[in-house]
Amino acid sequence: MKPEPICKVDDIPQNSACGFEAISNEVPTNVVIVNWKNELFAYRNSCPHTGVTLEWIQNRFFNGDNTFLQCSTHGALFRPDDGFCIAGPCTGKSLEKLPITIMKKSVYLK
């Protein structure tokens, strides 16, 4: 089965994030793709504290000053480049990082 792209690189402006549904190990998975300082990162869209999705409005993953990803439920803050929680009820834990590859300006899960 040929892998389907999650999105195009150009779909995610610099220093922003977008949510997508992708297939991981043949299971539909909510994914957040982050474009942070022109580098792409992918995480399972699930807070390590309660498992809820992170965004409070569709594709709104960042806190007010666009420095950290923020959980909509309890306000936990995660570094965009490694998913590490620096504040909130899951401090010291991390978002689940997903491996991605870029081919022909499209983003794929590995």
Instruction: State both tokens at 4.
Output: 């389907």
**Is pTM, for the whole model, over 0.75?**
yes
Burial class, 30, CB count within 10 angstroms (exposed 0-12 / middle 13-18 / buried 19+) = middle
pLDDT band, residue 31 (cuts 50/70/90): very high
Average pLDDT of the segment spanning 102-109: 95
Distance CA 11, CA 78 (A): 22
More confident residue, 91 or 3: 91
> Domains in the chain, start-ordered, CATH in brackets?
7-105 (2.102.10.10)
Q: Which residues pair with 20 in a beta bridge?
A: 31
